[in-house]
Amino acid sequence: MSTAYQIVHEEEIEHKNEYYELHLIKNSQQQRIFFSTNQENLEQTARQIIDDMGIQVEKWHIIPHSKH
């Protein structure tokens, strides 16, 4: 499967007009992954990131960020 997203490192965020934050929770531990995508289905993209990285999570949600 081709990659429908690009991981955005925190130091690159200021150069992005739009990006998403994937907030992951497992055993009260939190992790954030920033990414950009042209895909309309963000939930499917988030699941692909989780699968590609082999991350086991209990909960996750997506937070959109954009410059105004």
Spatial contact of 19 and 13, defined as CB atoms under 8 Å apart: yes
pLDDT at 4: 86
DSSP annotation of 10 reads G
pLDDT mean for each 10 residues of the chain (68 residues): 83 90 94 93 95 94 89
Residue 58 token pair: 């209990």
DSSP annotation of 62 reads E
Domain ranges of the chain: 6-66
pLDDT at 3: 72
- 67 contact partners, CB below 8 Å, separation of at least 6: 16, 17, 18
Residue 13 token pair: 């965020």
DSSP annotation of 13 reads G
